[in-house]
Structure 1
């Protein structure tokens, strides 16, 4: 049996307990050997991150330090082009054994936007997709995805077989924490203690990140 590797991408601007707790729960549920947090450099579907790639990477490194199986993967920050997910999947898959399972974790909103992704119809050639769906999420996928779901959905996420090719929904009750909220609180001089790991908070303060401009 090969390894089970998960990929969880995002701007992580900053990484917070919602990201980390959700990632750890999925890693344990699926018995991942590794769950890699992948900070994006130039996300094509989102605003430019507020702080530098170097700072965001270091905050993720601090957050996952000593918390197996969570790791940080910096390959998207080394590219001089937008952070296309298909490029990351091709790169990671090239490093794995043929029987290793690769899982891409995406939120419900991101999944519904999949048809706008670069080469989106090739994603399942390289990985399985786990959709992290909240109980309050709209249960109807867009029409562009319905044929794909009909062909590729796994009713039981734990039954997924093979290296790639299936989609499963993982129900979660995420913590009501957002990076936007954290940035706003910091800009207004309010505490974000317990919303981010202490090591991340110390880094933010030490480097004066997210302060309101003078």
Structure 2
């Protein structure tokens, strides 16, 4: 029986972009993942409210993974009206029969740099294996120097990822600029078809 190695990548995905995809692919290859769940958050506790609706954000994730048979768009957090805490989500996976050793929580180095502010820290580090992916401007090696006490609690994945953020994508759309190459083609088509992010406002600044 093949051992289960389950990747979990959460995010507001407003919208999902090539940086997310690159990180997921790097983790899949480095960790030998058998399944990868991309979880769209409902109410992110550490960020501003999303710009696009949960319907559109989940739809874009579903489109982004549609040609990858071992990747799955999950609405586990969207089904709850409560804030989307990672500890709660990981405990739900435990309730479905997954052991902490089988779960790999994928996170960018920039986000992990704030782990000490998360709910249920440091106990949250026992709920899954934390796989930290380098981000442009913040390689995992530098993160280990910033948080030396956590160096032996993480799996480092030093792989190149697209230098793009959701904020960049939204701002380019609002300015009438092309986002080709920044998001998967099916996601770009969905954004254009539904006129998402076309109005410039303060809410353009949110999740990366």
Alignment pair present for 1:90 and 2:91: yes
The equivalent residue for 2:149 is 147
What SS is found at the alignment partner of 2:45?
Answer: coil
Displacement of 1:87:
0.2
Q: CA 1:114/1:191 → structure 2, altered by over 3 Å: closer, same or farther?
A: same
Of 184, 192, 199, 1:212 maps to: 199
Displacement of 1:74:
0.9
The equivalent residue for 2:171 is 184
Q: CA 1:56/1:128 → structure 2, altered by over 3 Å: closer, same or farther?
A: same
Q: CA 1:113/1:209 → structure 2, altered by over 3 Å: closer, same or farther?
A: same
Matches within 5 A, 1:35-50: 35-50=36-51
Matches within 5 A, 1:88-127: 88-98=89-99, 101-127=102-128
Displacement of 1:174:
1.3
**Does the aligned pair in 2 maintain the 1:3–1:99 contact within 8 Å?**
no
The equivalent residue for 2:67 is 66
Displacement of 1:213:
5.5
The equivalent residue for 1:29 is 30
What SS is found at the alignment partner of 2:157?
Answer: strand
CA distance in 2, matches of 1:169, 1:59: 28
CA distance in 1, matches of 2:46, 2:155: 23
Once superposed, what is the RMSD of the aligned Cα atoms?
Answer: 2.1
Q: CA 1:135/1:202 → structure 2, altered by over 3 Å: closer, same or farther?
A: closer
The equivalent residue for 1:163 is none
CA distance in 2, matches of 1:97, 1:170: 23
**Which structure would you say has the larger RCO, counting Cα contacts within 8 Å and 6 or more residues apart?**
2
**Does the aligned pair in 2 maintain the 1:135–1:172 contact within 8 Å?**
no
Give the TM-score, by structure 1 length.
0.84
Question: Structure 1: which 4+ aligned runs deviate by more than 3 Å?
Answer: 97-100, 140-143, 145-149
Which sections of structure 1, spanning at least 5 residues, go unmatched?
A: 154-165
Give the TM-score, by structure 2 length.
0.87
Count of matched residue pairs: 198
The equivalent residue for 2:181 is 194
Cα deviation 1:26-49 (Å, max 9, x = unaligned): 112211111111111111111111
Displacement of 1:2:
2.8
The equivalent residue for 2:79 is 78
Q: CA 1:98/1:185 → structure 2, altered by over 3 Å: closer, same or farther?
A: closer
